[in-house]
Chain A
Amino acid sequence: MWSLTDITGRLDQWLNQTFSSTWVLVIEMLIAGVAVIGLFAALGLVLVLMERRVAAWIQIRLGPNRVGPFGLLQSLADTLKLLVKEGMTPSGADKFLFNFAPYIAMMVAMLLMAPIAFAKNFQLWDLNIGVLYISAISSIMVISILMAGWASNNKYSLMGAMRSGAQIVSYELSAGLSVLTIVVFSGSLNVTDIINSQADGWWIFKGHLPAWISFVIFIIAVTAETNRAPFDLAEAESELTAGFHTEYSGMKFALFFLAEYINVFIVCALGAILFLGGWMPFHIGHWEAFNHVMDYVPSSIWFFGKTFFLIFLIMWFRWTFPRLRIDQLLNLEWKYLLPISMFNILLATAIAILGWHF
């Protein structure tokens, strides 16, 4: 069967036959870099269009339908517009930090791509602490937001940045704890191991109540971590005009915008890997006949299907709920989510020790 693994395997084989091992490494890294940038751009375009469509249908509108067939080229046209737009730097701004902040946001989003398994054996870097790596790198995002907010020399930006700081630091805790629940179940921080441990059923089915609770908490926490409604206090259009990116325009704004969507993709991919089995097809226990049928669907389709399902869920939240207030946001984390996830991880540990999960 055709799969991405074959292509990468053959490519690797061919390179090794043609070049010396040092050059192979260089070329492979280049290919990986180009692939990430390409995926980055493609995902940005697709997700922006998807968001606009979801929003339009929920709001009984049609959504973009003028540029290209069914409006499919709309986000391409938007990108073109942003590219040719003048990137303004306010006179009172700290020029270096102001221009540097969007690149940090983008770099973080790119780094996060590394341990994600897009299909069976198709991964940039299968490091043994993959899940921890994602948690660690994603917290760097807050630095770019704080930097942008501070360097803009604008009070709205500053308030947005400070809100974002408080928010991301708090929600990191429950996001981390809900990830830990699955780590406790699977006994590994390695992304491949976690996916392989779900070969006889995804953790959301095998893990009983703790997996469910941690799934819900994970979705809430990552929505907050990516600064999306109902937790979009860092942007809070009606309060802070555009929050931390008030002063950004043109391509620098586009980079923040893209980084947001890529982050949404990454956290949803992580959610899919942890709770829904990543690229692992839908398997029921050891019912081989059924599992075999499911294996016919390519693994990359399984992965992207699950990820986009979670992205849709997050978009659905965004277009339904009002925004929280800053103190309520922190209340929700410290009074509800954190105690519940603490209790939940105890429960999960008990279940894992007793071996009650399948």
Chain B
Amino acid sequence: MFLIKYIKEVFGAIRSLLVGMRLTGYYFTHHKEIITEQYPDNRDTLKLADRFKGEVVMPHDEKNEHRCTGCTACELACPNGTIKVVTKFDITPEGKKKKAIDKLVYHLELCTMCNLCIVACPSDAIVMAPTFEHSVFDRSALTKILNKPDSKIMEGVE
């Protein structure tokens, strides 16, 4: 009786090992499921999701106009002090003073991509861009000014 149990044990053990080997053997001979991304080579075909939170950008249209009013809602919403809005006063044709942005300074090195600034922005001036290749040799290159030089606020955005 003991001997039968012993032999059964040995065969059960060998069977369980063979089941595992069958599975790994299957994957050894079937390469179609390989999931490795050949990263630098597949740069052209690599597409991230539209919503991927890579960095904050400020879209400008072809007339070099943006939608930012300089309300500092993003600066207040940011948990890390990533965004700094520097405002100036433009003189409108009617001769009135109008608040506008001078610079919107964005510290990519501090950003955690939490999306709170985008949600807070009342005029949809900033969006998240699906970029991810952020590495630079100098840390100061990560401090970016989001509005382009000589850009103006779009007509009708208050």
A and B touch in the complex (CB under 8 A): yes
Interface residues of A (CB under 8 A from B): 54, 57-62, 316-317, 319-321, 336, 340
Measured between C-beta atoms, what is the minimum distance from B26 to chain A in Å? 9
With beta carbons under 8 angstroms apart, the residue of A61, A319, A321 that contacts B17 is: A321
With beta carbons under 8 angstroms apart, the residue of A57, A321, A340 that contacts B28 is: A57
> Cβ of B24 and Cβ of A58 under 8 Å apart?
yes
Query: CB-CB < 8 A to B141: which residues of A?
Result: none
A60 to B29, alpha carbons, bound, how many Å?
10
A4 to B73, alpha carbons, bound, how many Å?
82
Tally B residues with Cβ within 8 Å of A.
15
> Cβ of B25 and Cβ of A57 under 8 Å apart?
no
**A-B contact number at CB 8 A:** 33
> Cβ of A316 and Cβ of B25 under 8 Å apart?
yes
With beta carbons under 8 angstroms apart, the residue of B28, B31, B33, B38 that contacts A316 is: B28
- Binary A-proximity of B53-92 (CB < 8 A = 1, otherwise 0): 0000000000000000000000000000000000000000
> Cβ of A316 and Cβ of B21 under 8 Å apart?
yes
Query: CB-CB < 8 A to B36: which residues of A?
Result: 61-62
**Which residues of chain B (33-54) have a CB below 8 Å from chain A?**
33-36, 38
Query: CB-CB < 8 A to A336: which residues of B?
Result: 10
Query: CB-CB < 8 A to B38: which residues of A?
Result: 62
A308 to B107, alpha carbons, bound, how many Å?
56
Query: CB-CB < 8 A to A54: which residues of B?
Result: 28
Measured between C-beta atoms, what is the minimum distance from B84 to chain A in Å? 42
> Cβ of A320 and Cβ of B24 under 8 Å apart?
yes
Measured between C-beta atoms, what is the minimum distance from A209 to chain B in Å? 13
Nearest residue in A to B31 (C-beta to C-beta)? A57
Interface residues of B (CB under 8 A from A): 10, 17, 20-21, 23-25, 27-28, 31, 33-36, 38
Closest 10 CB pairs of A and B: A320-B24, A62-B36, A58-B24, A57-B28, A320-B20, A58-B28, A60-B33, A61-B36, A320-B21, A60-B34
Query: CB-CB < 8 A to A59: which residues of B?
Result: 27
Measured between C-beta atoms, what is the minimum distance from B5 to chain A in Å? 13
Nearest residue in A to B35 (C-beta to C-beta)? A60
Query: CB-CB < 8 A to B33: which residues of A?
Result: 60
Measured between C-beta atoms, what is the minimum distance from B27 to chain A in Å? 5
> Cβ of B34 and Cβ of A61 under 8 Å apart?
yes
Q: Known: A316-B25, A316-B28. Contact between A321 and B34, CB under 8 A?
A: no
A294 to B36, alpha carbons, bound, how many Å?
41
A316 to B23, alpha carbons, bound, how many Å?
11
What would 11 more interface pairs be, CB under 8 Å, given A61-B36, A321-B17? A54-B28, A57-B27, A57-B28, A57-B31, A58-B24, A60-B34, A61-B35, A316-B25, A317-B21, A320-B20, A321-B20
Query: CB-CB < 8 A to B35: which residues of A?
Result: 60-61
